[in-house]
Amino acid sequence: MSVISSQAVEELPKDFMAHPYETLERLRAMGPAHPVIFPHGAKVWLVTGYDEVRQLLTDPRVSKDGSRANHLFARHSGMIVDDEEAGSIGVNDDLTNHMLNSDPPRHTRLRSLANQGLTPKRMEASRPRLEQVADELLDALDDGRPVVDLIAGFTQPMTITTICDVLGVPAEDKPLFHQWAAQLVGAGHDPEVVEAASNSVIAYAQASIEAKRANPGQDMLSMLVHGKDGGDRLTQDELVSMFFLIIMAGHVTSMHTLTNVIHSLLTHPEELARLRADMSLLPAAIDELIRFDSGVAVGTFRFTKEAITLGDVTIPAGEILALSMNSAHRDTSKYPDADRLDITRCPKNHLGFGHGTHYCVGAPLARIQLEVALTKLLNRFPDLRLAEDPASLQWEHGALMRGLTELPVSLHG
């Protein structure tokens, strides 16, 4: 039986990301996909089963064409706008028209150019610098205070500094990047705030691009500006949107994932003790920690090009898809006892970095960053513990990201 338009649409609460797993378990039991209204007001189809999420990540009937995004969000938010107005809703198109919001063959071309600066070999060469950054941040954090915020003092500056180093932009501009990212990647901001942040990022990106064009270095932005020798290169607009994708979205997802990984270990002391007893488990433990509670709760939005049937549910064409990675990772048909953290699980085919064409191009860097950050943190502070009741911690009210606003810890027990 196919879903019809009269079916009740569930409205998710503003604080859904604070405690999503109970709701996601209930929805999975009811079926693989459900029309819901997200906290920001848009009606989407939330896909919750592992097999269905993985299928739709590669389904040719699904599009990521960002040029359609504003029109569909306007329609599915109940807004009455004409075609010209719909194109002006949300973040500036100059920023969102990047490879994550594109389909082949355009995506194939953009990804090929981006891959030049994000090869596994190049990212591995960044490990000594990452270790230096982690040491410096932990030195500054360990200043005698009984309680420190691990996000403000470690996970946020660690991830922003990493991206700045990769792109070759000044580290002193990190506060600007964090502010703009919160306004553009987060949810619930006034349109004027989003517009101002969009314009600021565009102006900064254009200035940085011109600087690299005049004085190239060995950084990724220089490689993107100058392209392949004698071959293809990005246009000015493509460079601006690539800059946004890497320095804005890239550091936010990494920050939330690193924070959630630490939070999961601190709230599961037995697993933390197992890891401390044998740090060689860390690479495999990272996969399980990402499966258990990833910062990327929902994949970036996709759209149905034609009707798609999942089980007894038919999703019409022209609908917004929200693929819930965190729900897929708690699907017991894929991962038995999925609500239990087990750092030796080695979860096969987890979706923390996506799957298929849009698999995260920055995954090699993200893994190295997680390994370095966790190794340095756990070795430096053997008595590290949460300083507040986990139930009292505050989570951001986002649509796609699951992230804490603060992570208060005691470094010395």
Give the distance, in angstroms, between the CA of residue 150 and the centroid of all CA atoms in the same chain. Answer: 19
What's the confidence (pLDDT) of residue 92? 63
CB 297 within 8 A of CB 16: no
Cβ atoms within 10 A of the Cβ of 408, count?
Answer: 15
Neighbours of 170 (CB within 10 A): 9
Q: Does this model's pTM top 0.85? A: yes
Confidence at residue 388, expressed as pLDDT on a 0 to 100 scale: 96
Q: What is the pLDDT of residue 188?
A: 61
Which residue stretches of the chain have pLDDT < 70? 1-7, 66-94, 185-189, 228-230
**Boundaries of every domain in the chain:** 10-410
The C-alpha atoms of residue 111 and residue 118 are separated, in whole angstroms, by 10
CATH topology of domain 10-410: Cytochrome p450 (1.10.630)
Summarize pLDDT for 300-358 with one digit per residue, the tens.
889 999 999 999 899 999 999 999 999 999 999 999 999 999 999 999 999 999 998 88
Give the pLDDT score at 86. 42
Q: What burial letters (b/e) apply to 146-163, b meaning 16+ CB within 10 Å?
A: eebbbbebbbbbbbbbbb
In the 3-class helix/strand/coil scheme, how is the chain assigned residue by residue?
A: CCCCCCCCCEECCCCHHHCHHHHHHHHHHHCCEEEEECCCCCEEEEECCHHHHHHHCCCCCEECCHHHHHHHHHHHCCCCCCHHHHCCCCCCHHHHCCHHHCCCCHHHHHHHHHHHHCCHHHHHCCHHHHHHHHHHHHHHHCCCCCCEEHHHHHHHHHHHHHHHHHHCCCHHHHHHHHHHHHHHHCCCCCHHHHHHHHHHHHHHHHHHHHHHHHCCCCCHHHHHHHCCCCCCCCCHHHHHHHHHHHHHHHHHHHHHHHHHHHHHHHCCHHHHHHHHHCHHHHHHHHHHHHHHCCCECECCCEEECCCEEECCEEECCCCEEEEEHHHHCCCCCCCCCCCCCCCCCCCCCCCCCCCHHHCCCCHHHHHHHHHHHHHHHHHHCCCCEECCCHHHCCECCCCCECCECCCEEECCC
- Which of 156, 362, 358 is CA-nearest to residue 246? 362
Q: Identify the pLDDT of residue 187.
A: 58
- In this prediction, residue 81 carries a pLDDT of 42
